[in-house]
């Protein structure tokens, strides 16, 4: 019953892969100041990524369980959406705290766009949590219809936010920024695990 919702809502997971699937390029190493900036951003990724992956796993797990009582489903969805909101807000905050990548043309705009998109995605999940919290759990049919309506409307918004967030992160991660991030163990580890587990989330 909830597979559509799960499929639509786990799209946000792509963002973390975009943020951390870095590979090094170029012979000359990036500016040390830029490397320090990348470390600030990358060090925040694993903890937030764990939250996001775990939340997506919860959504996927209950989507296949049609016998779950509405109250339990509501609780699981609400917690997952809260975790997703927290995860993306954490990434947005990390980018915001790091500031503009030093020595990069247009770096401030690229950094602000990426942070703004991540914060927007976080807000979408806060909104989803509120809507799920408001569903009628006394009646299985009403609850199922409510979830379907949420999937139809909200999932589209989350999908749009996720796409624009991915684009903003790709723009931020071009050239020297990508090379600087590639030197960070916290980015490298995630990049490797993302490619090793294409079905995760």
Tokens at 39, concatenated:
């470390």
CB atoms within 10 A of CB 48: 22
Q: Could you tell me if residue 21 is inside a domain?
A: no
Q: Could you tell me if residue 23 is inside a domain?
A: no
Could you tell me the residue range of the domain that residue 134 belongs to?
A: 3-16+30-196
Please answer whether residues 121 and 165 qualify as being in contact, where contact means their C-beta atoms are separated by less than 8 angstroms.
yes
- Per-residue pLDDT at 190 exceeds 70: no
Its pTM stands at 0.82
Name residues whose C-beta falls within 8 Å of residue 34's C-beta, 6 or more positions apart in sequence: 101, 102, 103, 104, 176, 177, 180
Q: Could you tell me if residue 22 is inside a domain?
A: no
Using pLDDT thresholds of 50, 70 and 90, give the confidence band for residue 67.
Answer: confident
CB atoms within 10 A of CB 141: 9
Q: Could you tell me if residue 24 is inside a domain?
A: no
Q: How many domains does the chain have?
A: 1
Higher per-residue pLDDT: 183 or 14? 183
Please answer whether residues 77 and 59 qualify as being in contact, where contact means their C-beta atoms are separated by less than 8 angstroms.
yes
């Amino acid at each position: 019953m909830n597979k559509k919702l799960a499929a639509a809502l786990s799209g946000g997971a792509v963002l973390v892969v975009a943020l951390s699937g870095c590979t090094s390029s170029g012979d000359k190493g990036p500016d040390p100041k830029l490397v320090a900036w990348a470390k600030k951003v990358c060090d925040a990724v694993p903890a937030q990524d764990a939250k996001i992956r775990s939340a997506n796993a919860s959504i996927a797990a209950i989507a296949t369980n049609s016998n779950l009582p509405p109250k339990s489903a509501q609780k699981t969805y609400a917690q997952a959406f809260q975790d997703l909101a927290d995860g993306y807000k954490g990434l947005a905050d990390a980018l915001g705290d790091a500031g503009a990548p030093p020595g990069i043309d247009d770096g401030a705009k690229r950094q602000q766009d990426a942070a703004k998109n991540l914060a927007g995605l976080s807000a979408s999940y806060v909104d989803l949590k509120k809507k799920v919290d408001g569903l009628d759990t006394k009646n299985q049919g009403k609850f199922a219809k409510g979830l379907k309506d949420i999937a139809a409307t909200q999932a589209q918004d989350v999908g749009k936010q996720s796409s624009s967030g991915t684009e903003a992160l790709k723009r931020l991660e071009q050239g020297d920024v990508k090379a600087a991030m590639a030197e960070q163990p916290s980015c490298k580890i995630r990049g490797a695990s993302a490619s090793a587990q294409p079905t995760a989330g």
